[in-house]
Structure 1
Amino acid sequence: MKVTVRYFARYRSLVGKGEEEVELPEGATVMDLIEKIKEMHPVLRNEVFAEDDDLADVNVSRNGRYVRFDETLREGDVVAIFPPVSGG
């Protein structure tokens, strides 16, 4: 199945693009997608995911709603990857 991944803020700069399609097996989860993205873009593994399974610095939404990392993706989903937002 294919999902569209949109990168925002720092992630967009690191990856060098704002959006791409990613091919995943049926039944893949958000975490599976994160692992695939880390394979495709080692800079994310080095800069964002410095420690294994360190997901504290990433937010993920699917079709405009925040999701857990264990949620199953579906064909055509649009997944946004962005850093935590803070205000002041």
Structure 2
Amino acid sequence: MRIKVRYFARYRSLVGKSEEELEVPDGITVRDLIEILKERYPVLKNEVFAEDDDLADVNVSRNGRYVRFDEVLKDGDVIAIFPPVSGG
């Protein structure tokens, strides 16, 4: 199945693009996608997602709404990857 991944803020700089389409296996979860992205872009693994269980430094939306990491993706989904928002 095909999905679109959009990168925002720091992630855009790290991977060197704002978006891409990926062919991924049917039935993968958001966490599986993060693992695919870490393999594709080792800088994410080293700079952002150092620990497999430490996904606190990433927010993920699917088709415009925040999702859990165990949510299953579907063909045609648009996934946005962005850092947590902070402010004061």
Q: Please report how far the alpha carbon of residue 22 of structure 1 lies from its aligned counterpart in structure 2 after TM superposition.
A: 1.4
Gaps spanning 5+ residues in structure 2: where?
Answer: none
Kindly report the root-mean-square deviation, in angstroms, between the aligned alpha carbons of the 2 structures: 0.7
Gaps spanning 5+ residues in structure 1: where?
Answer: none
Same amino acid, percent of matched pairs: 80
Per-residue Cα deviation, 1:28-75 (whole angstroms, up to 9, x for no partner):
110110000001000000000122321010000000000000000000
Q: 2 CA distance for matches of 1:54 and 1:78?
A: 23
TM-score (norm 2): 0.96
TM-score (norm 1): 0.96
Q: Please report how far the alpha carbon of residue 78 of structure 1 lies from its aligned counterpart in structure 2 after TM superposition.
A: 0.2
Determine the structure 1 residue equivalent to 2:2. 2
